[in-house]
Amino acid sequence: MPDLSKITCIEDLRVIAQRRVPRMFYDYADSGSYTEGTYRANQADFQPIQLRQRVAINMEGRSTATTMIGQHVAMPVAIAPTGLTGMQHADGEILAARAAKKAGIPFTLSTMSICSIEDVAQHAGPGFWFQLYVMRDRDFIERLIDRAKAAGCGALVITLDLQILGQRHKDIKNGLSTPPKPTLANLINLATKPAWCLGMLGTPRRKFGNIHGHVKGVTDMSNLGAWTAGQFDPRLNWGDVEWIKNRWGGKIIIKGIMEPEDARLAVDSGADALIVSNHGGRQLDGAPSAIHALPAIVDAVGNQIEVHMDSGIRSGQDVLKAWALGARGTYIGRAFLYGLGAAGEAGVSKALEIIQKELDTTMAFCGHTQIGQVDQSILRPGTYPTA
């Protein structure tokens, strides 16, 4: 276990995770599609946004607490749904859910998780949300929705930007598979990751827990892989969202919105929130960064639906900038995965601690003690994107 007392930023966790996690799974998390231009822009486009420092203001009694879709959160941050989380570290989804519960923020489980809904429900807090990929097998989707409901998930996050897969070159070159294929290159790499290997040997959770054993005709990883590859539904449309909403009957969050026109359709769908997201730069390479897309969407629909965002957040300052531009919730994916890969549950807790502290202190330097007081006035004009 690395010494977390000297970890000061998310980048520190990334460096450790890269050493400890097998290459195919580290690259799966830390990559984008095609040239990775959008992937890089997501993070880089936060940097030019400048903050206005204020002085001689009472900084006591600070709080980053707020609500997301009516639920109390310790800060406007949720853990994003990420596939194969349980391959960054054994039982990864369970460990991350525990860390989120302790931090007082929501945890969102991916359809393509290693640990199942039922596994995670035993460890998650009240902020347990489930992310749904819409697949061709509608009977399976209905049962998946019902399982999420039975597990007590408080919201359903419907991802709309993965009807087809963006090409991720590193995954192809690494021969990504779950569990890893025993090729010479993979075996050599695994031999350099003894802690990861020991963790995986100690858990039975090494398959897609929400799918394996729940799909007719799928008996092993070979036919599970073939089933999954053909299941993402290119016919997905807003009518499907209405069908899912009626089946679910609870709060709905629409993920993958990058244009005002689609944001208006999300409002029309009756969703409780939308997430401005380009899937972390893993789908359409050449799309703008999420932070650049945010202001136009807030301007178009911000008073009709709760606007959240993901893609590129690596610090509490990024969270504050997104809030100032109108996001009422943010999601971290890679930031928590780096912590998980570096040190398991303790690493995720460290990542959340870093983000909360950065958010709190930056808010204070900008002259505010309550996150709800923060608006665009904390940003220096001319340095941030506008509608």
Average pLDDT, rounded, for the chain: 95
Question: Of the candidates 227, 183, 168, 206, which has an alpha carbon nearest to the alpha carbon of residue 85?
Answer: 206
Tell me the average pLDDT across 376-383.
98
The pTM of the full predicted model, rounded to 2 decimals, is: 0.95
> Which of 89, 123, 279, 308 is an active site residue?
279
Q: What is the DSSP letter of 135?
A: B
Cα–Cα distance measured from residue 43 to residue 223, given in angstroms and rounded to the nearest whole number: 37
Q: Decide: residue 235, CB within 10 A, 0-12 exposed, 13-18 middle, 19+ buried.
A: exposed
Cα–Cα distance measured from residue 346 to residue 82, given in angstroms and rounded to the nearest whole number: 18
Q: Pairing state of beta strands 128-133 and 251-257?
A: unpaired
Nearest 5°: CA angle at 308, between 305 and 311?
A: 150
Q: Pairing state of beta strands 107-109 and 128-133?
A: parallel
Cα–Cα distance measured from residue 222 to residue 171, given in angstroms and rounded to the nearest whole number: 17
> Percentage of residues in the chain with pLDDT exceeding 90?
87
What pLDDT digit, counting tens, does each position of 308-335 carry? 999 999 999 999 999 999 999 999 999 9
pLDDT value for 117: 98
Q: Pairing state of beta strands 71-73 and 66-68?
A: antiparallel
DSSP letter string over 13-75?
A: HHHHHHHHS-HHHHHHHS--STT-HHHHHHHHTTTTPPB----S----S-B--EEETTEEESS
Cα–Cα distance measured from residue 29 to residue 282, given in angstroms and rounded to the nearest whole number: 10
What pLDDT digit, counting tens, does each position of 67-81 carry? 999 999 999 999 999
CA–CA distances in Å: residue 377 to residues 19, 49, 50, 231, 380: 41, 12, 11, 46, 7
Residues 138, 144 contacting (CB under 8 angstroms): no
Q: Quickly state the pLDDT bin for 223 (edges 50, 70, 90).
A: low
Domain positions in the chain: 4-378
Is-catalytic flag, 279?
yes
What pLDDT digit, counting tens, does each position of 102-121 carry? 999 999 999 999 999 999 99
Question: Per-residue pLDDT for 152 more than 90?
Answer: yes
What pLDDT digit, counting tens, does each position of 12-67 carry? 999 999 999 999 999 999 999 999 999 999 999 999 999 999 999 999 999 999 99
Question: Per-residue pLDDT for 177 more than 90?
Answer: no
Q: Decide: residue 184, CB within 10 A, 0-12 exposed, 13-18 middle, 19+ buried.
A: exposed
Residue labelled with tokens 């092993």: 220
What pLDDT digit, counting tens, does each position of 281-292 carry? 999 999 999 999
Q: What CATH number does the domain located at 4-378 have?
A: 3.20.20.70
pLDDT value for 222: 60
Dihedral sign (CA 332, 325, 355, 15): positive
Tell me the average pLDDT across 188-198.
95
Supply 236's token pair: 């997905």
Nearest 5°: CA angle at 45, between 40 and 48?
A: 140
Cα–Cα distance measured from residue 335 to residue 77, given in angstroms and rounded to the nearest whole number: 12
pLDDT value for 120: 98
Residue labelled with tokens 């993901």: 310
